Structure formats: structure tokens, C-alpha cells
Amino acid sequence: MKVVMVNDCAFVGETLLKYMPSCIERKHIKRTRSIWDKTFGMAYNILRADGDLYHVHYLLQDCYVASRLGKKPLIGHAHGSDLRASLRHPLWGRIVRHDLRSCNRVLVSTPDVLSTARMFREDAEYLPNPVDTGLFFPKPIEQNHEKKRVLIASDSNYVVKGTDIAIRALSKIKTEIEVSIIKNGLDFTKVLTLASRLGLPLNVLPKVSHDRLNEYYWSADIVIDRFKLGSLGLVSLEAIACGRPVVTYVSSEFEQYDNFPLKDVDTEEEITHAVEGADNELWNEEYEYLMTTHKPDMILKRLLELYESIRESV
């Protein structure tokens, strides 16, 4: 079987391809920053691609093009923003709805958008994001420092990530912690201004490639992620894989997270308390959840079952 993977999100597609069995031939059509790829390049590459199955990330234009070009069987893999925001857009919404209805199967990467997908497709399925455990793995925490080292690892975004909530929460215990933040995101400048006003010093880290993020995780004692969506992001999963306890908002409304130990942390007071209490015991419980839900081999097993069932039904 030859799988053609189109586009990507947070390296999910790349990780899936990396851990696929060697018996599966694969091709990855990825976007670049070139004008060609942003216009006709992707459509041309999709047209030329020849596979037994097409797996497209994001229910947007690439999935639409693949559908219109008759690429079958076609899997549309939603990653959140396409169903949270683009679906409501006057132009992009038409494309997303077409993709939801036209794909042979629809997958979603987080449970908070599963109900939205099922409004259009009853067979939509949640497929947990895989964590590259060859790249992200535990290392001991350094003990030769006085204050807890906190890393804000997700991109600075008030609406989606709730970075402002995290900053206000951390400012309440600023004498107990050292905070680092990666220079990335729509609201990064606003975050710096807010932290300065609250007297919270921030160590600004340059944005690095994905394969170097582990270095940032290993240099922290605790990792902070997002506090708006209620679902686990890749930042949380990768940080846990690196041996660090994570403080993030995981909603108890989603049964998929029943075994995740830290839930419903979304206020300043709850974040402050969670950071103060985050320790190796919390990490052990988070890591147990990770190893039973997000290991690549487990996810690949389910994905390959889906591939075979879809091929047989088309």
C-alpha cells in the first residue's frame, strides 16, 4: 500500500509517517513558504501524486483540491482551527463543509471538535496525536537551582491559548519561580507588556526548530501550555514525554481524558496552585496517561486498521 500524506500540523503527519511499517510506501506533500506552493504548487503536486490512499491534514484548500481531483480514498484530518474558526468563516466555511461531506473518512486530533465534526459526519473519529518518543524522552531534572523554572512553551495567544491568564497567575508567585517564554505568537508583544506591568521577569527564548524543542523542555522544571480549549496540545504531550510535569487546562467534560490526572485548571488561582504543587508524582501520572494513549505504535495500529477498512469500502 502507498500512502500519500498531504500537508501537516504540529508534525503529526511527519510523526505518523516516521513510525509507519517499512512495508508501507509513503509520500509526503508538504507546503513551503514559496509563492508557488501557496498558489498552484500544492494542487500540481496533488494532481501528480499516485497512491492507494490519500491522507490530508486540515479540512481546507488542500483537502478540497484532492477531493475535486478525484483522489480516493480520501481521509480528511481536522486539527482544530479548521473546525473552530474556519467553519464559521463566510468563504472558508464552504470549503470546510465540502471537505467534511466529501472525504471517505474524517479524523479529528482533539476531542473538543469531535461533536462539531459529527454534525456533518456521524462516523468522524478522534485519533489521538502521536508523540515522537524517539525525539522527546525523559531526562532527570537538574536540582542545583533555588527557584522553580517554569517554561511557557505554547505560542502567545490570548484568545486560543489564554497566555494572559497564565502570566497573571504566575505573577502571583513571581518570587518563587523563574519564567521563560518562547518568542512566538500573535500576542507576544502584549505578553511582554503585561508581564512588565505585573513585575514578572521573563527570560525570552528564541524560536527553534521542532527537533530542538526538547532542549527547552529539559531545561525547565514545569511546563505551561494553554488554558482556553480544554484539550491537550502537542506542547503538553511533548513536555510530558520529556519528563516534565505540565500545567494546562484539560476539561473533565471529555471522556477521552478520564485518565489524565490534572483537570479543569483554567483560573488564575487554580493555575497558581497547580504550579506550586507540580512535582514528580504529578508527572508520573501524566506520563502513564501519555504512554497508554499517545505512543506512535498504538496510534498507528488504529490508523492502519482505518486505512484497510476504508480501502475495502471504496
Q: Where are the domains of the chain?
A: 2-129+295-313, 148-293
Determine the Cα–Cα distance for residues 267 and 246; give it in Å rounded to an integer.
16
- In this model, does residue 31 exceed pLDDT 90? no
The dihedrals phi and psi of 104, each to the nearest 5 degrees, come to: -70, -25
At the fourth CATH level, which superfamily is domain 148-293?
A: Glycogen Phosphorylase B; (3.40.50.2000)
pLDDT for 312: 85
Determine the Cα–Cα distance for residues 207 and 156; give it in Å rounded to an integer.
12
Beta bridge partners of 204: 181
- In this model, does residue 35 exceed pLDDT 80? no
Q: With bands split at pLDDT 50, 70 and 90, how would you rate the model's confidence at 41?
A: confident
pLDDT for 142: 86
Q: What is the pLDDT of residues 109-145, one digit of tens each?
A: 999 999 999 999 999 999 999 999 999 999 999 888 8
pTM: predicted TM-score of the whole model, two decimal places: 0.95
Cα R_g (the chain), whole angstroms: 20
pLDDT for 40: 80
User: Looking at the domain that runs over 2-129+295-313, which CATH code has it been given?
Assistant: 3.40.50.2000
Determine the Cα–Cα distance for residues 252 and 260; give it in Å rounded to an integer.
9
Average pLDDT across the chain, whole number: 95
- Mean pLDDT to the nearest integer, 80-91: 92
The answer to whether the CB of 208 falls within 8 A of the CB of 238 is no
The answer to whether the CB of 209 falls within 8 A of the CB of 137 is no
- In this model, does residue 16 exceed pLDDT 80? yes
Do domains 2-129+295-313 and 148-293 share one topology? The answer is: yes
